[in-house]
Amino acid sequence: MLENIDLSLAVKNGEYKESMKILEGKLGELQRKAWELKIPIIFVFEGWHASGMGEDINRFILPLDPRGYDFYPMTLDCHKDALKPFLPHFWALTPLRGKIAIFDRSWYSRAIIKHFRKEKYGEKLEKCLEEINCFERQLSDDGYLIIKFFLHISEKEQEDRFKEIKKKGIPLFLDEYEMKNGKENGKELDFINEYNEYLPVVEKVLEKTDMPYAPWTIVEANDRNFATLKIMVTATQAIETYIEQVTRTPGQQTIEYLNVAMSKLPDFNGSVLNKIDLSKTTSPEKYEESKKLYQQKLETFQYELFRKKRSMIILFEGWDAAGKGGDIHRLVEELNPRLYRVVPVGSPNDIEKAHHHLWRFCEGIPKAGHITIFDRSWYGRVLVERVEELCSEGEWKRAYREINEFENILTGTGAIILKFWLHIDKDTQLERFKSRQNDPVKSWKITDEDWRNRDKWEEYKIAVDEMLQKTSTINAPWIVVESNDKSYSRIKILKTVAEVIERELNV
Query: Other CB atoms closer than 10 Å to residue 258's CB: what's the count?
Result: 6
| DSSP assignment string, 449-502 | HHHHHHHTHHHHHHHHHHHHHHH--SSS-EEEEE-SSHHHHHHHHHHHHHHHHH
Nearest Cα residue to 432 out of 443, 419, 417, 448 = 443
For the chain, report the end-to-end CA distance as a whole number of angstroms: 49
Q: Phi and psi (nearest 5°) for 188?
A: -60, -40
Q: Which numeric CATH code is attached to 273-505?
A: 3.40.50.300
What is the pLDDT, as a whole number, of residue 78?
A: 58
What is the pLDDT, as a whole number, of residue 258?
A: 31
Residue/partner pairs of 259-262 with CB below 8 Å, 24 or more apart: 259/397, 261/400, 261/469, 261/470, 261/471, 262/400, 262/401, 262/404, 262/405, 262/470, 262/473
Query: ∠ CA(175), CA(178), CA(181), 5° rounding?
Result: 145
6 — pLDDT class (breaks 50, 70, 90): confident
CA dihedral 177, 182, 185, 191 (to 10 degrees): 140
What is the pLDDT, as a whole number, of residue 185?
A: 43
* Residue 128 near residue 68 (C-beta atoms within 8 A): no
What is the pLDDT, as a whole number, of residue 124?
A: 81
Crossing angle for the helix pair 486-505 and 324-332, nearest 10 degrees? Answer: 50
- Give, as one character, the DSSP assignment of residue 424: -
What is the pLDDT, as a whole number, of residue 118?
A: 56
Mean pLDDT value of segment 414-427: 96
Crossing angle for the helix pair 195-208 and 107-115, nearest 10 degrees? Answer: 120
What is the pLDDT, as a whole number, of residue 248?
A: 73
What is the pLDDT, as a whole number, of residue 1?
A: 63
Whether 13-248 and 273-505 share one fold: the answer is yes
| Alpha helices by DSSP H, 215-255 | 224-248
Instruction: Write out pLDDT tens, residues 252-297.
Output: 444 333 333 323 333 334 577 888 899 999 999 999 999 999 999 9
Could you give the strand order of the β-sheet that contains 478-482, starting from the edge strand earlier in sequence? 340-344, 371-375, 312-318, 416-423, 478-482
Instruction: Write out pLDDT tens, residues 347-386.
Output: 999 999 999 999 999 999 999 999 999 999 999 999 999 9
Instruction: Write out pLDDT tens, residues 440-475.
Output: 877 777 777 888 888 999 999 999 988 998 888 888
Structural element, H or E, at residue 159: helix 155-168
CA–CA separation, 297 and 274 (whole Å): 33
The domain spans of the chain are 13-248, 273-505
pLDDT exceeds cutoff 60 at 493: yes
Mean pLDDT value of segment 228-236: 94
CA–CA separation, 315 and 328 (whole Å): 10
What is the pLDDT, as a whole number, of residue 174?
A: 53
Query: Other CB atoms closer than 10 Å to residue 426's CB: what's the count?
Result: 12
Q: What share of the chain is helix, strand, coil (3-state, %, to 5)?
A: 55, 10, 30
CA 346 to centroid of chain Cα atoms: 19
Q: Phi and psi (nearest 5°) for 342?
A: -110, 125
- One-letter identity of residue 152: H
Domain 13-248 in CATH 3.40.50.620: no
Mean pLDDT value of segment 408-423: 95
Who contacts 324 (Cβ-Cβ below 8 Å, separation ≥6)? 316, 317, 318, 375, 376, 422
Residue/partner pairs of 272-277 with CB below 8 Å, 24 or more apart: 272/464, 272/465, 272/468, 272/469, 272/480, 273/423, 273/461, 273/464, 273/465, 273/468, 273/480, 276/423, 276/480, 276/482, 277/482
Mean pLDDT value of segment 239-249: 87
Distances (CA, A) of 196 to 158, 176, 192, 202: 12, 27, 10, 10
Query: ∠ CA(194), CA(197), CA(201), 5° rounding?
Result: 120
Query: ∠ CA(443), CA(446), CA(447), 5° rounding?
Result: 120
Percent share of the chain, pLDDT over 90: 64
81 — pLDDT class (breaks 50, 70, 90): low
Instruction: Write out pLDDT tens, residues 184-224.
Output: 344 444 455 678 888 888 888 988 898 889 999 999 999 99
* Residue 48 near residue 152 (C-beta atoms within 8 A): yes
CB contact burial 154-184 (16+ within 10 A = b; e otherwise): beebbeebeeeeeeeeeeebeeeebeebbee
pLDDT exceeds cutoff 60 at 79: no
Mean pLDDT over each residue of the chain, to the nearest integer: 87
302: left (phi over 0), alpha (psi -120 to 50) or beta: alpha
Q: Phi and psi (nearest 5°) for 10?
A: -150, 160
